[in-house]
Structure 1
Amino acid sequence: MTAPEAEAAPAGAAPPIVLARGLTKRFGKFTAVDALDLSIAKGEVVGFIGPNGAGKSTTIRMLCGLLTPSSGNAWVAGFDVGRDPESVRAHIGYMSQKFSLYADLTCRENLRFFAGIYRVPRAVLDERLRFAIEMAGIVGREDMLVRTLAGGWRQRLALGCAILHRPPVLFLDEPTSGVEPQARRQFWNLIHRFAADGVAVLVSTHYMDEAEYCNRIALIDAGRLATVGSPGALREKALGGTLFELAAASLGEAVQTLRATPGVLDAAIFGDKLHVLVCDTPGVPAAALAAGLPARLAAAGIAASAPRAIRPSLEDVFVRLVERPAQQEAS
């Protein structure tokens, strides 16, 4: 079965280089990924976010041809992940959650090892190795053991190994976990450098600030795709209400009081403040309802400041969309 390119892309648009339709993975009675639909275009960076156990790594491993889907279909670089996983793996770069290099080999030895696995032609091998060494920032450290490198260097070297064969698609599974902020930023500069050359990138992350660097974000929860959109679109449309910030004397008690207030969709603690999501109700706009929240809290014996409308962050979106299914099941 070939990828249904014409159906997947709007008229005049380039077909997606990664396409999943109804992608599902079950382990016995447990469904890790449930009927997931996703597409990624050439040169696009898609952030894959969700809580632990949501299905991010399982999805990526299926798209890499490392796990066979239980049902549904997916195509990567034109190859069916279920029927031709070997071809899929030959046309992708992959970084797993766990550090994937050999700690007791030198940087150069790791690069040569992966070049052999990816069958990099001998005619271009030296040029590819130089590029990876310069990209990783390890010029002069090529013969150091990998275990002696700082985390940022190791991750950039792992990325260098993953792109030695110039793949059109990169799958990065929490590549910056545990890496210091400056090294994370440098790593993302490299991701966008590859995207500018037309490489499609799917990257999972727990850092909401990193999700801001993506063209689109796919949020998965309990194996199901909750939403897909640009960071701006998700901030503006995914919450379903207006977000307000206020200070309160007892944050925990205030959250419980506010969540029981008509018109309040959600309330959560953010630092030393509260974020309160308010919807318009018949005859009462969100701003008017929010203005009455301090009085509501005062009646419960909790002093609070006047609320102010704020621009939602991706963390607000994440918390709201992840909590919403649980709230709906409880209601």
Structure 2
Amino acid sequence: MKISIIIPCYKAATTLRRAVESTLKGAPADLQLLLVEDGSPDDTGAICDTLAAQDARITALHRPNGGASAARNTGLEAARGDWVLFLDADDELLPGLWQVLETLPVTDEEMILFGLQRASTGEAVTVAPLEDGRYERLSSLQDRLSALLFDTGLLAAPYPKLFRRAAIGGLRFDETLKINEDVLFNILFLQKTTAIYCLRGVYYKQNDVGSGSLSRSLRGDLLDAEAVTRPALERLLRQNGLDPAPYLHTSRVRACLNQYGLLTGCRGGLSLGERRTLFARILADEDARAVLADRLRRDPNRLLAIPYRIGVACRWPGFLAAYTLAKQRFL
């Protein structure tokens, strides 16, 4: 199988060589490695050109800055492999993938899914308890589907997986979205997918320890992003004969919890009004509010949790907004 790897490159001067080296170790001679430099202000573009001059399998593409979605779309236009793999410029492929793919009995599957390791936890997150092999439609994943979508995120992220390029067709990443554009791409691709081949092996390392990591950056668009992907997720589930209600409930509540976690745990430039609006939306969700109240009751740091318990119990978004902003400024 011929594979095209697409790496969006922006401010990646310190990590790009490591990412490229990880893809080339043991890689086949017909590999196509596309480095899409996205108008980066540092030396990333020059590094792309240098790497391309050193190995015929590498092509450097340059475009004005448009974000990761635009860079991935540029790569898709240039991809010529039977399969496409997306790799972030600060991540790595782990050894063994090329050897496994050489003997993989894939026939008409449109996706090959494998495990990843997150640097932030140091733990491998695999597709287990799935066994190696073919899975017809999402319904064959049964009770493991929710974990793959929400807990590990293996089905929701653009990695760690290979997409059959013919199945991608004209599908592209939505360049108007600043978050969840990858989730939407995956959901829309899965709507076109009849079978997935799963590997238990871990072949992708996600280096999610930088300041740009979602878990370390304060942003206020998680609820809006979930609202964008929810209708597509519902169509996907119905298409596979699955009841969407429990999955949509999980999607909505997790978005609320993640947004709450960023508001209470991260520093950033959101104003008092913006914070209040977000807390109000979270507290208006009865299911999310119940989960938050339960977590706060069980919080081992009882004294520190008191202001949050009061704000959630009394449904005071203004209080929570003022407290988190004051804590950020003075603590």
Structures share a fold, TM > 0.5? no
Higher strand share: 1
TM-score range, shorter chain: under 0.3
- Relative to its length, the structure with more helix (as a share) is 2
Indicate the structure whose relative CO is greater, using CA pairs within 8 Å and at least 6 residues apart.
Answer: 1
